[in-house]
Chains A and B, each alone.
Chain A
Amino acid sequence: MHEFSIVQSIAEIALETARNNGAGQISSVEVEVGQSAGVVRDAMEFAWEAAGRGTLLEGASLVLKEIPLVVRCRNCQKTFHPDELFDPCPACGDINPEIISGKELRVVAIEVKYK
């Protein structure tokens, strides 16, 4: 389950930022997760508690913001929201559109408390 190492990386990024800013506690971590990023939300939430145990992240909530999959047809330039990666273009049937969003896996911000 790669969500464990993904969550581990999120924790490292959050902890380092908190320490560099002299924060006493992290209350939440906001992460953008693209619809086609290749991770399972439930698995990330499952791994979250263990990743933060005994650190400034203890008890912090993981806020996952889903970014929808948006693609642009390379043939007719139509922008659309496919259900599955690489559904054909609804206007011209072309395949292999360009991905505009939906692959994100990004730590956006943390909320901290100062002592």
Chain B
Amino acid sequence: MCDHCGCGGEGTGYSLINPAESDHKHEHTHSDSHTHEHPHEHHHEHPHGHQHTHEHTFTGNRILIETDVLQKNNLLAQRNKGYFEAKNILALNLVSSPGSGKTTVLELTLANLPGQRVYVVEGDQQTTLDADRIHAAGAPVIQINTGNGCHLDAEMISKAVRTLNPDNDSLLLIENVGNLVCPALFDLGEQYRVVIMSVTEGEDKPLKYPNMFQSAHLCLINKTDLLPYVDFQTDKFIRYAQKINPSLQFLQLSAKTGEGFGQWIEWIREKQP
């Protein structure tokens, strides 16, 4: 049952919170199995290219469906992507384990992009702590609390972006829920996925969580200021990650000292048309 409105929604309820509104008024959404928002489209792949009517095929009491489980999310992600492209917005999806430094990287990124319009979406299961930090850093931000959910999905982003109503030619930074597993499966419509890895996590993460490293475009190796104190071998980590994703790019930085931020800011500017 939902804590906010007592409507009996099962676990998947999430809420949107705008820290700029002092009363923390929030929009509240449920996806329960009694609503039928999902588009009734069934993709059938027919290598022989014949015409096919979209009716279910009956074999006794068996009804053929052949629908991708993630289809609803993927369609919404495509819609988000179209929206970003139409408004020339660069959208980045930042993923990492809990505590790798996503919010700290965002704070310093905001400080390093004066004059650039930047919007932030924060995803956490609970609290507005991260959104409060971004709000303090001066950027418009929406916090999504996923409740029991362990990842952001395209529908949440669509709602958050509608609330933020970003200007054309702006930058949208999405901090996903800290988790190296679940966010890998859910396309948000972002142009680039950035995985943040801190040097305190061990070099073997790409081998243990291949889906995440496989789906990312850029890897930020964070907390390089701690390299003298930990056994992290950067070249070994890069080798493992490249085994999973040979086209993955790497940048090393420290969100504490600001070292290496120049290249990251340059990377963003390069991607923004």
> Are A31 and B69 interface neighbours, CB within 8 A?
yes
A8 in complex: contacting residue of B31, B63, B65, B66, CB < 8 Å: B31
A4 to B66, CA, bound (A): 20
Contact A11:B185 (CB < 8 A) given known A106-B66, A111-B61, A112-B63? no
A104 to B64, CA, bound (A): 16
Instruction: With both chains docked as a complex, state the minimum distance between the C-beta of A48 and any C-beta of chain B, in angstroms.
Output: 12
Contacting residues, chain A, for B181 (C-beta < 8 A): 2, 38
Q: Tally of A-B residue pairs with Cβ under 8 A?
A: 112
Contact A13:B63 (CB < 8 A) given known A8-B31, A38-B185? no
> Are A1 and B36 interface neighbours, CB within 8 A?
no
Contact string, B178-196, partner A, CB cutoff 8 A, digits 1/0?
A: 0001101110000000000
Contacting residues, chain B, for A36 (C-beta < 8 A): 210-211
A7 to B70, CA, bound (A): 10
> Are A85 and B210 interface neighbours, CB within 8 A?
yes
Q: Which of A69-115 contact B (CB under 8 A)?
A: 84-86, 95-96, 105-114
Contacting residues, chain B, for A95 (C-beta < 8 A): 243, 246
Q: B158 in the interface, Cβ–Cβ < 8 Å?
A: no
Contacting residues, chain A, for B210 (C-beta < 8 A): 36, 84-86
Contact A111:B69 (CB < 8 A) given known A2-B181, A5-B153, A86-B210? no
Of chain B, the residue at the smallest CB distance from A51 is: B33
A73 to B10, CA, bound (A): 44
> Are A13 and B38 interface neighbours, CB within 8 A?
yes
Q: Would you call the interface of chain A mostly helix, strand, loop, or mixed?
A: mixed
Q: Which of A1-42 contact B (CB under 8 A)?
A: 1-2, 4-6, 8-21, 23, 27, 31, 36, 38-39
Of chain B, the residue at the smallest CB distance from A16 is: B36
Contacting residues, chain B, for A5 (C-beta < 8 A): 12, 149, 151, 153
B243 in complex: contacting residue of A15, A86, A113, CB < 8 Å: A86
> Are A11 and B61 interface neighbours, CB within 8 A?
no
Contacting residues, chain B, for A10 (C-beta < 8 A): 69
> Are B12 and A8 interface neighbours, CB within 8 A?
yes
A12 in complex: contacting residue of B33, B70, B149, B207, CB < 8 Å: B33
Q: Which of B36, B65, B68, B244 has the most CB of A within 10 A?
A: B65
Instruction: With both chains docked as a complex, state the minimum distance between the C-beta of B119 and any C-beta of chain A, in angstroms.
Output: 25
A residues bordering B, Cβ < 8 Å? 1-2, 4-6, 8-21, 23, 27, 31, 36, 38-39, 50-52, 55, 84-86, 95-96, 105-114
Q: A2-B181, A5-B12, A16-B40 are in contact. List 4 more A-B contacts (CB 8 A).
A: A6-B69, A84-B210, A96-B245, A110-B63
23 A-B pairs, CB-CB below 8 angstroms?
A: A1-B150, A2-B151, A2-B181, A2-B185, A6-B185, A12-B33, A12-B36, A19-B36, A21-B63, A27-B61, A50-B10, A52-B33, A86-B214, A95-B246, A107-B65, A108-B64, A108-B65, A109-B64, A110-B63, A111-B61, A111-B63, A112-B63, A113-B61
